[in-house]
Amino acid sequence: MSDFTHNFWSIYVAGMTLAGIIGCLLLLWFTARKKVDATTDNTTGHVWDEDLTEMNNPMPRWWMWLFVITIVFGLGYLAFYPGLGNFAGKLGWTEVKEYQEEMQKGEAEIAPVYARFASLTTEQLAGDPPAMAIGERLFMNNCAQCHGSDARGSKGFPNLTDKDWLHGGLPENISETIHNGRIGMMPPMAAAVGTADDVRNVANYVLSLSGSPHDSVRASLGKSKFVACAACHGMDGKGNQVIGAPNLTDDIWLHGWGEAAITAMVNNGKTNEMPAQASKLTEPQIRVLTAYVWGLSNRPKAAQ
Ligand code: HEC
Ligand code: HEC
């Protein structure tokens, strides 16, 4: 339960804590016994505003007892709760246990809500307003920081509202993505393509695939170089969802478009990661999120 690497430190810290408390008690006892010097006028010698003198009287009893009570409380607290080095305290209380109990209580409270969802398919969940209200909140708390609160993504973070999928848009693909995360990895390809000029040519060929503005002479020269890319993006450039290679013909760009962006992509490659969520979310939460994400691009227009 403790992070002490060696028992010595536990004993050392416990000793210091107890010494501090006993020190307070001794100080209290000592100052309470100190006799007032009767030979003088019983003041401390401090005078303010000409005639306001500070008397040297003993501390009031009630005040002393308050002090004693705090010390007794402190010792009692240390007996029952963790605080003395490694000693766990008589009650066995830990922050982790308290957290887990609260989580269990919370989960038990919402279990009936999710129980109703268990019998619904993804399609039905996506059309169920209470489920989607929960889905939206889960998305805001767990996904929006990367994909945006409108789920439209940004550079490097895919838009989840369109029909363009890196890893597949069927409910089972989305569920798999949320559970285990995804890594999109393109190695640096410049060496396989050839010279810097070849890289510019193939970049223009890629732009031509989606009808984006490009240099058509360079594009025709780059076509033959695209074989280096075909293993992942396909001979037709339409991509491969099994390895997360994007479709290069749809004019949707995860990492920006234009000759410069694509040249950089070929020269440097890219590793892009969606972190796994299975350990952060419960199974019913992932089901609802799957339906929410699926619904973003599949919900009938009428529902919007
Ligand atoms: C830390 C940032 C981050 C968080 C948090 C995150 N994602 Fe992602 N997500 C990504 C990235 C980056 C990708 C793209 C991976 C790639 O390039 O292959 C991605 C991909 C996806 C995809 C696949 C898209 C496709 O086109 O196939 C889905 C679905 C998805 N995320 C859903 C979610 C959901 C639901 C959550 C919340 C539970 C979430 N993501 C949280 C960064 C994140
Ligand atoms: C080993 C497989 C692989 C090869 C070979 C490969 N790519 Fe990629 N490429 C990927 C993956 C995976 C991604 C997505 C990276 C991500 O998830 O961010 C990608 C992304 C891209 C993108 C970004 C697309 C966007 O939407 O922004 C471009 C452009 C691209 N590749 C062009 C090429 C070209 C040109 C070649 C050949 C010279 C090539 N790729 C070779 C796997 C590959």
295 lies in a domain? yes
pLDDT at 302: 39
* Ligand 1 atom closest to residue 167's alpha carbon, by position in its atom list: 27
Summarize pLDDT for 106-158 with one digit per residue, the tens: 889 988 989 999 999 999 999 999 999 999 999 999 999 999 999 999 999 99
| Same domain, residue pair 27 and 171 | no
| Same domain, residue pair 58 and 28 | yes
| Same domain, residue pair 73 and 204 | no
CATH number of the domain to which 283 belongs? 1.10.760.10
107 lies in a domain? no
| Same domain, residue pair 205 and 176 | no
In 10 A of CB 272, how many CB atoms? 16
* Beta carbons of 55 and 44 less than 8 angstroms apart: yes
Residue 167 domain boundaries: 114-181+275-303
22 lies in a domain? yes
64 lies in a domain? yes
101 lies in a domain? no
262 lies in a domain? yes
User: Considering every ligand atom, which ligand is closest to the CA of 280?
Assistant: 1
Say whether pLDDT at 1 is over 70. Answer: no
**Probe residue for ligand 2, chosen from 229, 253, 263 as the CB with the greatest number of ligand atoms within 8 Å:** 229
Summarize pLDDT for 78-113 with one digit per residue, the tens: 999 998 888 888 998 999 999 999 999 988 998 898
Distance 248 CA to ligand 2 centre (A): 8
CA dist 131 and 150 (Å) reads 18
pLDDT at 110: 87
267 lines ligand 1 (CB under 6 A): no
Residues of the chain with pLDDT > 90: what percent? 77
Q: Please count the structural domains in the chain.
A: 3
Q: What does the CA dihedral 124, 129, 132, 137 come to, rounded to 10 degrees?
A: -160
User: Considering every ligand atom, which ligand is closest to the CA of 206?
Assistant: 2
| Same domain, residue pair 199 and 266 | yes
Confidence category of residue 58, pLDDT binned at 50, 70, 90: confident
| Same domain, residue pair 193 and 266 | yes
Say whether pLDDT at 290 is over 60. Answer: yes
Mean pLDDT, range 159-175, rounded to an integer: 96
Ligand 2 binding residues, C-beta < 6 A: 166, 184-187, 189, 193, 202, 206, 228-229, 231-233, 243-246, 248, 253-255, 262, 265-266, 270, 272
| Same domain, residue pair 173 and 279 | yes
| Same domain, residue pair 264 and 281 | no
For the entire predicted model, the pTM comes to 0.77
135 lines ligand 1 (CB under 6 A): no
Mean pLDDT, range 275-304, rounded to an integer: 87
Looking at 59, 80, 101, which one is the last position of a domain?
80
* Ligand 2 atom closest to residue 248's alpha carbon, by position in its atom list: 24
* Choice between 32 and 143, residue whose per-residue pLDDT is larger: 143
234 lies in a domain? yes
CA dist 114 and 199 (Å) reads 52
Protein residue closest via CA to atom 18 of ligand 1? 184
86 lies in a domain? no
Looking at 26, 57, 80, which one is the last position of a domain?
80
| Same domain, residue pair 152 and 288 | yes
Say whether pLDDT at 252 is over 60. Answer: yes
pLDDT at 88: 87
Looking at 62, 80, 98, which one is the last position of a domain?
80
Distance 52 CA to ligand 1 centre (A): 73
| Same domain, residue pair 193 and 250 | yes
Least confident of 34-38, 90-94, 184-188, 228-232: 34-38
Summarize pLDDT for 206-218 with one digit per residue, the tens: 999 999 999 999 9
| Same domain, residue pair 235 and 285 | no
| Same domain, residue pair 253 and 280 | no
The rounded mean pLDDT for the chain is 91
Summarize pLDDT for 228-243 with one digit per residue, the tens: 999 999 999 999 999 9
Least confident of 18-32, 40-54, 205-219, 223-237: 40-54
pLDDT at 38: 58
